[in-house]
Amino acid sequence: MEESVMLLTILLLLPVILSCLLWRNQMKRPHNGPKLPPGSMGWPFFGETLKLYSQNPSIFFGTRHQRYGDIFKTNIHGSPCVMLTCPKAARFVLVTEAHRFKPSYPQSKERLIGPWAIFFHDGEFHTRMRKLVQGSLSLDAVRTMVPLIEAVAVNTLESCCSGGGLAVNTFHEMKKVCME
């Protein structure tokens, strides 16, 4: 009995120990690629995702900005990423040297939103899709939609309040709002 417990413990701990050793070895090994900014990649597989969700995101990014500066690396949702916290760096990436950078998003976000979302693409396809959507999101189009959206919101709130204090089924109400 005691031997089986010992064997089970070893079998459970062995993968954890091996993954930590491999991760530690990977972090110590010099990389030949481009130099990354300072920062922490967090735990293997999880990165710093748990820290991000266990506190206010503003605090999470604020402490990293204080510790590492305007540009730092991190690992969110298992995806290594570089974060920019100053307008000058963002302008450099988005305008001056945009051709050198390709935005990427975590697989979890792609699964949640869907692979055909506009910001998952670049090049000609992205340009065509943006032109199709841009008209409906122009300032004039949004101005004409605001009274309609406001009327639907007011009607929905009135119907929720007229329920006599009963619980509101938000899924049902959101479905009604989307279909009006």
Could you tell me if 53 and 78 lie in one domain?
Answer: yes
Q: Quick one: pLDDT at residue 29?
A: 57
Backbone angles phi, psi at 75, to 5 degrees: -135, 110
Does any domain span residue 174?
Answer: yes
Does any domain span residue 110?
Answer: no
- The Cα–Cα gap between 53 and 145 comes to 35
Does any domain span residue 125?
Answer: no
Could you tell me if 83 and 59 lie in one domain?
Answer: yes
**What are the start-end ranges of the E strands in the chain?**
71-76, 79-84
Could you tell me if 51 and 15 lie in one domain?
Answer: no
| Model confidence pLDDT, tens digit, residues 102-133 | 766 767 777 778 777 777 777 788 888 888 88
Q: Quick one: pLDDT at residue 80?
A: 81
End of a domain among 75, 101, 127?
101
Domain coverage including residue 160: 139-179
Structural domains of the chain, count: 3
Helix (H/G/I), strand (E/B), else coil: 79:
strand
Are 77 and 52 in contact, with CB atoms under 8 Å apart? Answer: no
Return all residues near 119 (Cβ < 8 A) that are at least 6 apart: 103, 105
Confidence of residue 86 (pLDDT cuts 50, 70, 90): confident
Backbone angles phi, psi at 29, to 5 degrees: -70, 135
Could you tell me if 43 and 19 lie in one domain?
Answer: no
Could you tell me if 45 and 25 lie in one domain?
Answer: no
Could you tell me if 43 and 65 lie in one domain?
Answer: yes
| Model confidence pLDDT, tens digit, residues 129-163 | 888 888 888 888 889 989 988 888 888 888 777 76
Could you tell me if 10 and 62 lie in one domain?
Answer: no
Whether the pTM exceeds 0.75: the reply is no
Could you tell me if 12 and 51 lie in one domain?
Answer: no
